[in-house]
Amino acid sequence: MKISTITFIIPCFNESETLPEMYKRLSSLTDKFTNFQFEFLFINDGSSDSTEEILKNFAKSDKRVRCLHFAKNHGHQIALSAGIDFANGDLIVAIDADLQDPPELLKEMIDKVYEGYDVIHAQRRNRSGETWFKLFTAKLFYWFIKRFSTQELIENCGDFRAFTRPVLEVARRFRERHKFLRGNFVLYGFRQCVIQYDRDSRFAGTTKYPFKKMVRFATDAVINFSTLPIRIVIFISFLLLMLSFVYLIRSLILHFVFHVTIPGWTSLIVLITLFASLQLFCFAIIGAYVGRIYEQVQNRPLYWIKDVQNISLDDASAISPCIQEIIISRNIVNSKCNIVNEESTK
């Protein structure tokens, strides 16, 4: 495969402390690869610190820096998806902004592409500088997914990965709201491989994945790739139905054959509580799926953008097949409308 342009997709949420260093590392790295053109696609995920100004300054002096600014925080996975929509490269590298993922791994990634691979997952050999809580929740996360999700996952692989243009085209077509990209990329197929790296600690700032977000992420991982929870519910309900049937027969025999009055009260209460709580549990699981269906049929845009830098009008065409995303920037909204109209008249 021939590579002429390489895109780095960098989601940023309140990363003002790490961005100058990140940019420096990226620039000095890419200076060594004179055969390729580069594009640094920063997605500002509704940051409230000075991330926006910093990115604008980079973009002013360096045309390789291209920025999308979300109007609000949409989350890391959606930020990455926007990156996927707007990337122009033949090889795309998704990387965190906090320098936990060394951009220098690019060399190995390129080698793997030349060997014929299309998806190159970067796997953490170790995770230095992370709190025991983060390590524990990460372990719990992988345990949970292994147990409950049907989608195969590569352990200790986050969202640091490289992929080729054909994979990008496929990734763009997956428009689910609750994304779990590390599962999706395994699902896409093509030729995949894993390379290992040592994960550094965060260059500055704190994690933007607090426990609450991790729990939400793990739920997405299970529900997106499996109907197992629903099947478990069906199994439990069936089992309980059988048990209650046996209990019914027992009560009838006791009443009509042996004429013993059943003291009953305790067992009644126990049964009512058991069944009521189980019913609630079943409803909650089914509700989780129904909720997703509801959100999906609402068909809201995955994200909306309040400002861009160094993004040309043509780039908007990348997202036109899905017509879901909104760019609220006066100079490109017209072009987007044209694209939409063109499509609808086809």
**Which residue stretches of the chain are H helix?**
19-31, 51-61, 76-86, 106-114, 132-148, 165-172, 181-188, 211-225, 228-256, 265-298, 330-345
Contact 197, 122 (CB under 8 A): yes
Pick the closer one to ligand UDP by CB: 68 or 223: 68
Q: Smallest distance, Å, CB 174 to ligand UDP?
A: 19
By the rule CB under 6 A, 203 interacts with ligand UDP: no
Collapse the DSSP code of 184 into the 3-class scheme (helix H, G, I; strand E, B; otherwise coil) and give the result: helix
Collapse the DSSP code of 6 into the 3-class scheme (helix H, G, I; strand E, B; otherwise coil) and give the result: strand
Q: Comparing C-alpha atoms, which of 21, 28, 55, 51 is closest to residue 203? A: 21
Choose, by CB under 6 A, the member of 11, 83, 89, 103 that binds ligand UDP. Answer: 11
Choose, by CB under 6 A, the member of 209, 226, 292, 338 that binds ligand UDP. Answer: 209
By the rule CB under 5 A, 159 interacts with Mg ion: no
* Sign of the four-CA dihedral 114, 119, 125, 129: positive
What is the rounded distance in angstroms from the CA atom of residue 295 to the CA atom of residue 127? 35
Choose, by CB under 6 A, the member of 39, 85, 90, 96 that binds ligand UDP. Answer: 96
Q: Which residue has the tokens 């990363």?
A: 15
By the rule CB under 6 A, 12 interacts with ligand UDP: yes
Q: Smallest distance, Å, CB 254 to ligand UDP?
A: 59
Pick the closer one to ligand UDP by CB: 186 or 204: 204
Q: Smallest distance, Å, CB 139 to Mg ion?
A: 17
Q: Map the footprint of Mg ion across residues 95-154, applying CB under 5 A.
A: 96, 98, 100
- Bridge partners for 42 per DSSP: 10, 67
Choose, by CB under 6 A, the member of 16, 81, 88, 100 that binds ligand UDP. Answer: 100
Site string for ligand UDP, 24-53 (x = CB under 6 A): ---------------------x--------
State the residues that interact with Mg ion by CB under 5 A.
Answer: 96, 98, 100
